[in-house]
Structure 1
Amino acid sequence: MKFLCPEIITDHTNFWQHSKLKIILYWTIVVLCLLGFLSPPMALFIGIVMAQVGHPYAKLNSKLTSTLLQISVVGLGFGMNLTSAINSGKEGIIFTIISIFGTLLLGFGLGQIMKIEKKTSFLVSAGTAICGGSAIAAVSPVIKANEQQISAALGTVFILNAIALFIFPIIGHHFELSQHQFGLWSAIAIHDTSSVVGAASNYGAEALQVATTVKLARALWIIPVAYLATLLFKNKDSKAKIPYFIGYFILALIANTYVPFVQKVSPYIVDAAKIGLTLTLFLIGTSLSRKVIRAVGVKPLFQGVILWITISIAALYVVINLSS
C-alpha cells in the first residue's frame, strides 16, 4: 500500500500533522488565558486569528462558550455589593426601556426599507436591543428561525462586539467618561454581556460593577420581548430560553453583601471569573471564521451597524448630559 499510493499517505500524514499543530496552538492559548497572560481584547483578537486557521473543537465551541460565560458572570457577582447594584440598576432602567423598544422599532423600519428577511431582521434588532447572542438564542425558537437566519444574526452581533471591545475604551477616555459613566454606556450600547464586561473591566472596577449590573438587568427583558415575538410571528406554542443564571448572579451579590465568610474568599472568585471571561472572549473569537462572516450578508450587517451606531451615540449623549 505504501508503494502503490505514497501521495495518499503523504497527504494523510500532513493532515494529521496540521491538525496536531492546531490542537497544540489551541491549548497553548487556553493555558495563557488561564495564567492571566492575555488581556480580554488580546484573547479575542487571537481567537479571531485562529478562526481563520481552523478551530479544532468547533462543534463544541458554542455550548462551551455559553456555559463559561454564565459561570464567569455569576463569579463576578461575588465582587459586588447589593445596595450599589440596586442603585445602578435603578439609574439605568428608564433609558433601558426607551432604548430597547426604540431599537426594536428602528430595526423594524430598517428591515422594511432594506427588504431584509423578517426573522433575520428581528433577530438582529433583538440582539442589538437586549444582550446580543443570548437574546438571539432565546428568541430564535420562539419565531422558529432556521440555521441561516440565526447564523446571520449571530455573525452580525459577534463582529460588532469584537469592534466594540477595542474601540469603546478609547472613546471613553477621549470623552473623559468617569468609570460610572462608561459602565452605564457600555451596558446599553454594546450587544453581548461578554464584550460589555470585557470592555468595562479594562476601564476600571467601578465601571465593571455598573456595566455588569445594568447589562444583566437589561437581559431580563428577553422575557417580554420573546412574548412580543410570539404575537408578531404568531407562534404561541413556542417558548423562549429564560436566562436563569441571572438568579445565581443575584444570589452571589446577596452572599457577598451579607455573609462574612463569602466576603473573605470573594476576591479569589472574582479573579477566577475574570480569567474565565478572558477565555470566553478567546472562544468567541474562534467562532468568527470566514464562513461565518460570509454567511452574514451585506444587508443584515448594514442594519446591525446602523442600529449599533444609533444606540451608541444616543446613549453616549444621555450619559454625558445626565451627569453634567
Structure 2
Amino acid sequence: MAFHRLIILVFIFLLSSSHLPLAAEETPDEARMQLYKKTATLTSIPWTTLAAIDQYERNINDVNDDRLTSIQVKPEWWFGLLATDENPSHYEATIQAFNGIGKDGDGDGYANPHHDEDVLYTVAKWLSDEIASGKSIKQSLETYYDRDKAAKLITQYRQLFQHFQTTDLDEHAFPIPSHYNYSYRSTWGAGRGYGGRRIHEGTDLFASYGTPVRSVSYGVVEVKGWNKYGGWRIGIRDADNVYHYYAHLNGFEDSIEEGSIVEPGDVIGYVGASGYGPIGTSGKFPPHLHYGMYRDNGKNEWAFDPYPSLKRWEH
C-alpha cells in the first residue's frame, strides 16, 4: 500500500511539474551577441567589430530572420576559384585545393558556408590575418567590400555598439518635444524651385524660432554645418543605416560636433529659417524643421518619405 501511495505521489508531482513556467526564451539579439563574443574570443577581433560587419550586411541584404549572421558568403572567397557541391564532406577538400578561406567555426569538422558560426568565424579569422599582416581594419574592409563607404559605415556602427554596449538600438523619439507647439503634414514629393527644379525630400515641421530639435534615434553625427539649401543642418547616421537630416536650424546644441554619439531625445539644435543662399542667409521662409530620411543600400543612397515614421513616433 505504501508503495502504491508513493507511485501516486510521484505521478502527481510529475503532472504538476509539467506546468511549471519555462525559462524565458533567448531573443535573437541575445543569441547573436553570444555568437559575436564567442567568435571574438577565438579570433581576438572585438565583438563590436564583428557585430558592426554583421549589421552592415543586415542593412544591405535580404536576410532570413532565423539566421544569426547576415554575412553573405562570397563563393570566390570561400571556395577559391571553383565552387563546390552541397555535400559538407567536400567543402574542406575544395577549400584547400583552390585556396579558399572557409574555416570551421562550430567544431563539427567542416567549413560549411551554410552554418552561421562557420561564416562569422571565417570572416573574423580573415580579418585577424589581415591585421597581422600590417593592414588596418579600415583598409581590410575597403578591400573586402570594394567600397570605401562600407568601411566608414561599419566604423560608425562599431562606435555605437561600443558606446552603448548593445546592438539593440531600435528606440526612437519625435524630433520636437511634445510640450512645444508645432504642426506638420505630408509634403513628400512637392515641387521646390530654389537651386533648380527638384522635389521635396522630407517633411516640414513648423514651429517657433528656438524650439529644441531632438535626435530621433541613436546615431553618430556624420555632418554638421552649412548647406546652401538646408542652411545650418545636421546629419546623423543610425545603426540601421538610415541617415537622418535636420535642416534650416537656427543654431546647434553646444555639445554637438561631427563624430558625437547621440540617443533618442538628445537636443541637437534649434528651429530656424536658415538656408536658400550663402552662409548666414535666413528668413526666406517661415521657421521650421526640415526632416529627411535616407538609406544606403550598399551601392548608393536614396531618400524615402519620413512622414509615416514621424506619425508613429509622435504617438
Q: TM-score, normalised by structure 2?
A: 0.24
- Greater helix share, structure number: 1
Larger Rg: 2
- Greater strand share, structure number: 2
Q: TM-score, normalised by structure 1?
A: 0.24
Larger RCO: 1 or 2 (CA < 8 Å, sep 6+)? 1
